Amino acid sequence: MSNLNKIWLSSPHMGGTEMNYVQEAYDTNWVAPLGPNVNGFEQDLQKYTGAEHASALSAGTAAIHLALILLGVEAGDEVIAQSFTFSATVNPITYLGAKPILVDSEKDTWNICPKALKQAIEDRIEQTGKKPKAILPVHLYGMPAKMKEINEIARFYDIPVVEDAAEALGSHLSGKKLGTWGDFGVLSFNGNKIITTSGGGALLSNDGELIEKSRFLATQARDVAPHYQHSHVGYNYRMSNIVAGIGRGQMEVLEDRVNRRREINAWYVDLLKDVPGITFQTEPNSNYYSNYWLTSVLVDPEQTGGITREDLRLALEKENIECRPLWKPMHMQPVFADCPFYSTGVSEKLFKQGLCLPSGSNMNQEDLDRIEKALKDILIKN
């Protein structure tokens, strides 16, 4: 094992002004799940994404949970989700006693396949006599899903869309920011995302009443009364004013972070463009703009001379460089094995051959040199 510093897949990258906002919160004693930083961060998110309203929450997972509640998802309902994702997309469906209906990906963007989505909706209606209550597409690794096609289908069947943009802050499609295509958009500021508040999330929508309601539900659903009065079940999901201070500082450097991740992606593409059997997750055309949160490749051992994704991962691990297989699809997970699944065959292949490469915006030239050497040692020398 190398004794050089570990190169992480994606680690927090502070901009420098975060502590000013945190200090101000401390000095003014706004150490609470509300305050000027929470309001300021929400305004920053609205301004940046173009969403009319945003509520800052404790996690992206909480944002998905609240979106489903606000859409009236209840026990026994069905909700469609992209199978190829992190479990946090799908878990909130089960919190409500609803049933996840999993849909496979298409190969252009690696995200939910519109054709399979349409087939799934029609099949669910035929089998149960009821429409699914919501559709949850995901923009994996920052790559926009085919939102025009997805929204068209959603509108045809009149089913609301909750867009999981947890990995895609800063990405856009036809100039419109991700997180603003669905009825709701979900963002995450977990420690490994493109910007971070250590942990946190946000819910976006153009419906101000629903966003106000999300704030109400996220603060224990307290009715207006001098005593504690409740007519709804509530949650403790609001973002703290300290954490929101980090978020305000991070918003000042978000555009730099997106540019740097895209630069790293272009660097990898250039480095590996002539290596047979290595292909990238790539923007299908110029309407697509990915933040390239994580640069991801497929390794086809039939063309690499037998080198597999796992060979590559282990070779880099030996040099203290972190890589990860792509998300294991939800239909392959024991906990969701019983969920109906509409297959295209794409995500299983992606999982088998796919690898996320170190993509942190804080990597320096020395880090890139080490990665280059490790990749060349295994892919080119062999």
Chain positions contacting ligand PLP, by CB under 6 A: 59-61, 85-86, 88-89, 138, 164, 166-167, 188, 190, 201
Residue nearer to ligand PLP on the CB measure, 162 or 211: 162
Residue nearer to ligand PLP on the CB measure, 120 or 326: 326
DSSP category for residue 138: B
Q: What's the closest the beta carbon of residue 281 comes to ligand PLP, in angstroms?
A: 14
Q: What's the closest the beta carbon of residue 28 comes to ligand PLP, in angstroms?
A: 27
Residue 102 β-bridge partners: 81, 341
Residue nearer to ligand PLP on the CB measure, 356 or 374: 356
- Number of residues assigned to the chain: 382
Q: What's the closest the beta carbon of residue 163 comes to ligand PLP, in angstroms?
A: 11
Q: What's the closest the beta carbon of residue 130 comes to ligand PLP, in angstroms?
A: 26
Does residue 169 sit in helix, strand or coil? coil
Residue nearer to ligand PLP on the CB measure, 59 or 243: 59
For 69, 197, 299, 377, the CA distances from 325, given in Å and listed in that order, are 32, 25, 11, 20
Residue nearer to ligand PLP on the CB measure, 203 or 210: 203
Residue nearer to ligand PLP on the CB measure, 114 or 137: 137
Q: What's the closest the beta carbon of residue 88 comes to ligand PLP, in angstroms?
A: 4
Instruction: Say how far apart CA 197 and CA 124 lie, in whole Å.
Output: 39
Q: What's the closest the beta carbon of residue 305 comes to ligand PLP, in angstroms?
A: 33
CB 109 within 8 A of CB 143: yes
Q: What's the closest the beta carbon of residue 56 comes to ligand PLP, in angstroms?
A: 12
Residue nearer to ligand PLP on the CB measure, 25 or 90: 90
Within a 10 A sphere around the Cβ of 132, how many other Cβ atoms? 25
User: Among all chains, which residue has been given the structure tokens 């699944």?
Assistant: 341
For 116, 153, 202, the CA distances from 173, given in Å and listed in that order, are 21, 17, 20
Residue nearer to ligand PLP on the CB measure, 153 or 186: 186
Instruction: Say how far apart CA 93 and CA 71 lie, in whole Å.
Output: 12
User: Among all chains, which residue has been given the structure tokens 């570990």?
Assistant: 6
Instruction: Say how far apart CA 324 and CA 302 lie, in whole Å.
Output: 21
**Is residue 47 classed exposed, middle or buried when 0-12, 13-18 and 19+ CB atoms within 10 A define those classes?**
exposed
Residue of minimal Cβ distance to ligand PLP: 60
Instruction: Say how far apart CA 188 and CA 86 lie, in whole Å.
Output: 12
Residue nearer to ligand PLP on the CB measure, 198 or 229: 198
Q: What's the closest the beta carbon of residue 168 comes to ligand PLP, in angstroms?
A: 9
Q: Which of 9, 10, 17 is nearest to 250 (CA)?
A: 17
Q: What's the closest the beta carbon of residue 9 comes to ligand PLP, in angstroms?
A: 12
One DSSP character per residue, 269-319 reads HHHHTTSTTEEE---SSTTEE---SS-EEEE-TTTTTS--HHHHHHHHHHT
Instruction: Say how far apart CA 336 and CA 330 lie, in whole Å.
Output: 6
Which residue type sits at 176?
K
